[in-house]
Amino acid sequence: MSNRRPTPGPAPSATPSAMPSLSVRLALAGMVGLAALSGTHWLRERVRAPGALVAFVLGSMPNLAAGYAMPLVFAAMDRRAAGTPPTDASRRRFRWLLLFTTAGLVAWEFLQVGSARFRFDPWDIGATLVGAWGAFATQRRLAT
């Protein structure tokens, strides 16, 4: 009998089969955006008399978070966009989802021009576009 111990293999998480599917990774990334959206609404209820910068961030953050979260969550639910391994077709499908959700959020902002309840803010359009760019960069990173 030998006193030698067997050499341990790689950790289970280091093997490729332990990597969650692309749809799970997209969903988790989208949930980060939804958590940011929820956190922003939570903060809005609790921050009294915010300074100009804090008010600006709390005003635009929901658009940034929605622009980030929506395409990722929709892509996670669409097998054609979350194909494993990623293909040109799945990347194209994600870009269409990204375009659709971004256009919808921007259109919603323009519909607020005539609303008595909501307020149009061009900064919200910018925040939506920044969030969409973040979703695009995240999908590219996760799909590699």
Q: How confident is the model at residue 87 (pLDDT cuts 50, 70, 90)?
A: confident
Q: pLDDT at residue 14 above 80?
A: no
**CA distances in angstroms from 48 to 39, 44, 45, 123, 138, listed in the order given:** 16, 8, 8, 22, 34
**Buried b / exposed e along 78-96 (16+ C-beta atoms within 10 A):** beebbbeebeeebeebbee
Q: Which tokens in the block code for residue 126?
A: 């910018």
pLDDT at position 12: 55
> What is the residue type of 70?
M
For the stretch 93-141, pLDDT in tens is: 999 999 999 999 999 999 999 888 888 999 999 999 999 999 999 999 9
| Ranges 11-15, 17-21, 29-33, 110-114: which has the least confidence | 11-15
Q: Which tokens in the block code for residue 8?
A: 């341990």
Q: How confident is the model at residue 86 (pLDDT cuts 50, 70, 90)?
A: confident
Residue 52 buriedness (CB in 10 A; 0-12 / 13-18 / 19+) = exposed
Domain boundaries, the chain: 21-142
